Structure 1
Amino acid sequence: MTTAQTAPSAGAATRPAPQRLTGRLKVTLAVLLAAQFMLAVDFSILNVALPAIGDDLGFTLSHLQWIATAFALSAAGFTLFFGRIGDLIGRKRIFLGSLGLLGVASLVGGLATDPTVLIIARVAQGLATAAATPAGLALLTTAFPEGPLRRKALGLNGALMSAGFTTGAVLGGVLTDLLSWRWAFFINVPVALAVLLAAPSVIAESRPERRPRVDVPGALSVTLGLLGVVYGLTLAGERGWTDPAALGALAVGAVLLAVFVLVERRAAEPLVPLNVLRKRTVAWGNVLGVLAFVTETSLVYLLTLYMQKTLGFSALTAGVSFGVLGLGTVLGGLLAPKAVGRTSTRTVLVWGGLLQAVFTAVLLLLGDSPAAMWLVLPATFLGGVGNMLVIVGFMLTATTGLPDREQGLATGLASMSQQIGITLGTPVMSAVVTAASAGAVTAGAVHHGVTVAIGVNAALVLLGVVIAAVFLRPRS
C-alpha cells in the first residue's frame, strides 16, 4: 500500500511474463487459494453453531452475537492497516505470520471453556483475516501478469471465496450435528499448517524497494472510523435504527472517516493516496464490491431464516441446501475470465448483475410450504453464477491498470470492500426483517419480513448494475 516500486525478482526485467500456468505457478495458485478459501469459510462456519456454543459455554442470549461480531469488527476494521504493514515488512512475511496466528487462535477457540477466552480467540481470528486477505490477494496479483492469467487466477479466487462462505454454512451444520461445535475451530489448524509448510518455498516475497513511513494518524483514523461504522450498523441490525448507541457509533465512525480524508490530503506518505481513489475503476469498482458481498452473503442469512423459521427445517438441512449456491458461484468463477476475455469487464458486471437481480427477485414468489425449495434451489444456483460474475468483475476493475507498486493499496481496498460487505450484509438485512415483521417471530411474520428484505436485496443488485453501466462507461 505504497507508491514505492515493488522489488522485482532477479531477472524479472528481462524474463518475459508467462503466458500459461507453469508448474510453479500452479502450486503458488493452489497454496494461495487454499488459504483464501479457509478465510472465507471462517466468516460463516460458526453461524449455525451459535446456539450450541451458547449452551455449552454459558453465553447469555444477548451476548451470543458477539461470537460473530468480535470476528467481523476485527476483520473489517483492520484490513487497510495490516495491508500497509504488509508493505512495510513484506507481504509474504505478514501472510505467513497471519496464517500462523489464525491456526493458534483456532486451536485456542476450540479448546475454550469460558466465553472470555472464546471471544479473545475470535478477535485474534479476525485480526489474522484482516492481515492475510489483502496480503494473499496482493501476492496473487503480483505473481500473475495482467491479462488472461490474472483473470483466471482472480476468477478462481473469487469462486472459492464465495464458495467458502456457503461451504462454511454447510460445514458448520455438519460438524456441529455430527461431532461438536469445537471442530468448527479445529478444522482450521491442519489447513493453516499445510499452507505454512508449502508456502515458503513456492511464494515469492513482494515488498517495496524503499521502506515507506507509517502514516500513523491515517491508520488510526481509518481503523477506528471503520470500527465505529461497522459496530453502529451491527447494533442497528439488533436494536433498530433509532437506538442511541447505534446512531452514536455511526456518527463517530463517519467523523473519523472524514478526519482520515483530511489527514491523507496532507500526509507526506499517505496510507491511501487520494489520487488512486480518484481513478474511476478503483472508486466505483470497490463500491460494486461492497454491493456484491452485501447482497449475496445477506441472502444466505435471509434464506436460513426462511427455511428454519417458516419452513421448519433443521440447521443441518438448511446448511446443506446452500451447496447448490456454492456450485453456482464456482461455475460463475470459471465462466467469468472467459466472458471478460470475449467481451469486457463492464459487460460482465452488467449482465452478471442482471442475472443475479432477476433470480433474487424470483424469490419474492416464495410460499410457506416445503415445495418452495423447487424455486429456491435453481434461483440460488443461477443467482450465484451472476453474483460471481460481478465479484470477479469487481476484482479486475479495482486492481487492473495499476502498477505493481500500487497493488498492495489496490488489493487492500478490494479486501476492505469485501470484508465490509460480508460484515454489513446480515445486520442491514436483519434490520429490514425486524422492521417489516414488527419484531414478531411467527412463521408468517418472518416470511413477510424476509420477502421485504429480498426485495431490498434485489434493488441493491440493480443499483450495482446502474453504477457499472453509467460510471464505468469507456471514455472516448
Structure 2
Amino acid sequence: MALTTGSGTGAAPTRAGHAALAILAVAQFLIALDYSIVYVAMPSIGAELRLTESTVQWVISGYAVFFAGFLIVGGRAADRLGARRLFVGGLLVFGVAALAGGLAQEPTTLLLARAAQGIGAAVLQPAVLALLNTMFAAGPERNRALAVWGTTGASGLAAGVVLGGLLTTFSWRWVFLINLPLAAVCALAAPLLVIAGSAPRKTVPLNVLSAVLCTGTVLALAIALTSAASGGWASTTTLTGLGASLVLLVAFTVRERGSAGPLVDPVLRRTRSLVVGCGAAALYMASVGNEFFLVTLLLQQLRGLTPLQAGIGFLPLALAITAGNMVAGRLVNAFGSRRVLAVAFGIDAAGLLLLALLLHGDSYLADLLPGLIISGLGHGLTFTTMFIAGTRDIADRNQGVGSALMTTAQYISGALGVAVLVLVLGPAPDAGRFMWAVLLTALFAAAGVVLAWFGPRRSPAGDPKGV
C-alpha cells in the first residue's frame, strides 16, 4: 500500500506507509479499548468507591458526554492547526487522564479524569481520521486503510471486553492504567512516522465564539439525554439541558451564518454524502452500536454472569465485528459503498431480530450466539463502510471537522438510544422487556437500509458503483 499526501504531491515508501497506518490503527485500538473495557468493571468501581447506581453510570457517561461535546471543535482544530499536532496532544491528554483515573481514591477525581479522557479522545479521533483521509488517496487505497483502521478498532472492542473482565478480577484500576503504554508508544512514534497531512491553516484562526457555542450545545444535549436515562424525561436536569441546548443551537446557527470564518464550512452542509453519512452513523449507533449496552445488562443482570464470564460472552460478538471490518474495504471496492452499506444494515437488522426472538431461552450457544455473530458481522461492515461513504467527497482542509460531525451524530444518537432503551427496559427488566428493547434496535437498523439505498446516487471520484 503506497502512502500519498492529501495534495498528491508525492508518495512515501510502502514500509513508511505501513508504519504510519500502524500508529493510527493502534490509536484507534486505544479509543475502542477504553470504550468497551470499562463496561464490565462498573459494578466493581461502584462497590469500592461507594457510588450509587445513578452516579456510577457517569463513569461511562462522563466520558461520552465530553467526547461528543468537544468532537467538532477537535476536528476543526485538527484542520486549522495540523492533524498530527492534535494527534499527539490528544494522546497526551488521554494518557494523563487515564493515569489519574487509575489512581483515583474518591469519586470526584475519577469522574473528572473520565471527562478529561473524553476531551482527549475528542481531539484524537478526528485527528486520526483526518490523517487517514489526507495521507491515503480516495478510492481503493483509502478504503483499505479505513478497513485496517476499523478492524483494529474492532479488535480493541474484543480485547476490551475480555481484558475488562480479566483485569477487574485483580483491580478495576487496571482498566484505566492499561491505556498508558499504548498512548506513550503512539505519542512518541507519531512525529517520526506519521506524515503531517494537509498543511495547517494558520491564516484562518479558530472561531472561538462558534466553538464555545457548538461545544455548549452538544454538551447540554448530551447531559440532558444522559439524565433522561437515569432520572426520566421530566426531571429538572433533563428539561434544563434540552432547553439550554436549544437556545445555544439557535445562537450557534446565527453566529455561523454571520461569520467570515465559520466553525463548520458551509460546503459541508451541501455535501450530500456527508449528510447521509451522519444519518447512517446515527442509525448505526441506535442499532448495533447500542447492542453492547443491552448485552452487558442481559449477561450480568438477567443471566447473572460474573464480569469475566460476561467478557468471554462478549467475545464472539467482538470477533464477528472484527471479521466484518476486515472484508468491508474489499466489498466496497467491488460493489460500491451504497450497496454494501444497505446490505450491512440489513445484516444488522437480521441479527438483532434473531437475538430478540431467541433470548428467552436458557442456552447461550443456541439462543444468544447466533444473533450475536450475525449482528456482529453487520456491525463491522456498517462501521467501516459508513465512514468510507461519508468522508469520500470532503476536501482535505475539512476532513477533521467532517469526520467529527459523523462521530458526533453517532454518539448523540447513542445517548438518545440509551435513554429510550432504559425507558423500554424499565426498573426491573425481564426477558420480555429485553426482547422489545432489542426489537427497537432492529427497527433502527432497518431504517438504515432505507437511508443507505435511497441516499446519494451519483458516483463520486473513486466509487464507480455510487455511494
TM range, smaller chain: over 0.9
Indicate if the aligned counterparts of 2:281 and 2:410 stay in contact, CA closer than 8 A: yes
1:225 shift after superposition: 0.8
Indicate if the aligned counterparts of 1:349 and 1:465 stay in contact, CA closer than 8 A: yes
1:55/1:136 Cα in 2 relative to 1: closer, same or farther (>3 Å)?
same
Indicate if the aligned counterparts of 1:288 and 1:394 stay in contact, CA closer than 8 A: yes
Partner of 2:239: 247
Greater shift, 293-302 or 104-113, is seen at 293-302
Greater shift, 252-261 or 350-359, is seen at 252-261
Residue type at the aligned position of 1:305: L
Indicate if the aligned counterparts of 2:256 and 2:262 stay in contact, CA closer than 8 A: yes
Partner of 1:97: 89
Once residues 333 and 260 of structure 2 are traced to their aligned partners in structure 1, the CA distance between those partners, rounded to angstroms, is 39
Cα RMSD (Å) of the superposition? 2.2
- Secondary structure at 2:262's aligned position in 1? coil
Partner of 1:82: 74
Partner of 2:51: 59
Partner of 1:164: 156
2:349 to 325, 344, 357: 357
Matched, 1:415 2:399: no
Query: What whole-Å deviation, never above 9, does each CA across 1:379-410 have from its counterpart, x for those lacking one?
Result: 21121111222222210121102221222222
1:14 shift after superposition: 5.1
1:61/1:259 Cα in 2 relative to 1: closer, same or farther (>3 Å)?
same
- Secondary structure at 2:153's aligned position in 1? helix
Partner of 1:466: 450
Matched, 1:205 2:196: yes
1:240/1:14 Cα in 2 relative to 1: closer, same or farther (>3 Å)?
closer
Once residues 202 and 422 of structure 1 are traced to their aligned partners in structure 2, the CA distance between those partners, rounded to angstroms, is 34
Indicate if the aligned counterparts of 2:5 and 2:136 stay in contact, CA closer than 8 A: no
Indicate if the aligned counterparts of 1:311 and 1:369 stay in contact, CA closer than 8 A: no
Once residues 335 and 457 of structure 2 are traced to their aligned partners in structure 1, the CA distance between those partners, rounded to angstroms, is 14
1:469/1:293 Cα in 2 relative to 1: closer, same or farther (>3 Å)?
same
Once residues 338 and 153 of structure 2 are traced to their aligned partners in structure 1, the CA distance between those partners, rounded to angstroms, is 21
Partner of 2:440: 456
Residue type at the aligned position of 2:437: A
1:73/1:213 Cα in 2 relative to 1: closer, same or farther (>3 Å)?
same
1:425/1:26 Cα in 2 relative to 1: closer, same or farther (>3 Å)?
farther
1:23 to 2, 9, 15: 15
1:371/1:241 Cα in 2 relative to 1: closer, same or farther (>3 Å)?
same
Greater shift, 344-353 or 251-260, is seen at 251-260
Partner of 1:327: 319
* Percent identity of equivalent pairs: 35
Partner of 1:275: 267
Indicate if the aligned counterparts of 2:32 and 2:156 stay in contact, CA closer than 8 A: yes
1:457 shift after superposition: 0.3
Residue type at the aligned position of 1:312: G
Matched, 1:124 2:124: no
Once residues 75 and 65 of structure 2 are traced to their aligned partners in structure 1, the CA distance between those partners, rounded to angstroms, is 16
1:54/1:45 Cα in 2 relative to 1: closer, same or farther (>3 Å)?
same
Q: Where does 1:124-203 land on structure 2 (aligned, <5 Å)?
A: 124-177=116-169, 179-203=170-194
1:372 shift after superposition: 4.4
1:107/1:22 Cα in 2 relative to 1: closer, same or farther (>3 Å)?
same
Q: TM-score, normalised by structure 1?
A: 0.90
Partner of 2:463: none
1:372/1:144 Cα in 2 relative to 1: closer, same or farther (>3 Å)?
same
- Secondary structure at 1:330's aligned position in 2? helix
Query: What whole-Å deviation, never above 9, does each CA across 1:188-240 have from its counterpart, x for those lacking one?
Result: 01111111222110011233344312212221111111111111111111122
Query: What whole-Å deviation, never above 9, does each CA across 1:445-470 have from its counterpart, x for those lacking one?
Result: 42122111111100001111111112
Matched, 1:307 2:307: no
- Secondary structure at 1:363's aligned position in 2? helix
Once residues 14 and 366 of structure 1 are traced to their aligned partners in structure 2, the CA distance between those partners, rounded to angstroms, is 55
1:367 shift after superposition: 4.2
Partner of 2:280: 288
1:152/1:424 Cα in 2 relative to 1: closer, same or farther (>3 Å)?
farther
1:61/1:334 Cα in 2 relative to 1: closer, same or farther (>3 Å)?
closer
Once residues 266 and 233 of structure 2 are traced to their aligned partners in structure 1, the CA distance between those partners, rounded to angstroms, is 32
1:154/1:422 Cα in 2 relative to 1: closer, same or farther (>3 Å)?
farther
Q: Which runs of 5 or more residues in structure 2 are unaligned?
A: 460-465
1:447 to 421, 431, 440: 431
Query: What whole-Å deviation, never above 9, does each CA across 1:322-352 have from its counterpart, x for those lacking one?
Result: 1111111111111111111111110001111
Once residues 85 and 256 of structure 2 are traced to their aligned partners in structure 1, the CA distance between those partners, rounded to angstroms, is 27
- Secondary structure at 1:208's aligned position in 2? coil
Greater shift, 343-352 or 159-168, is seen at 159-168
Residue type at the aligned position of 2:227: L
Residue type at the aligned position of 1:461: A
1:165/1:430 Cα in 2 relative to 1: closer, same or farther (>3 Å)?
farther
1:43 to 32, 35, 58: 35
- Secondary structure at 2:56's aligned position in 1? coil
Residue type at the aligned position of 2:212: L
1:44 shift after superposition: 2.5
1:156/1:418 Cα in 2 relative to 1: closer, same or farther (>3 Å)?
farther
- Secondary structure at 2:52's aligned position in 1? coil
- Secondary structure at 1:127's aligned position in 2? helix
Once residues 256 and 340 of structure 2 are traced to their aligned partners in structure 1, the CA distance between those partners, rounded to angstroms, is 33
Once residues 367 and 407 of structure 1 are traced to their aligned partners in structure 2, the CA distance between those partners, rounded to angstroms, is 41
1:62 shift after superposition: 3.1
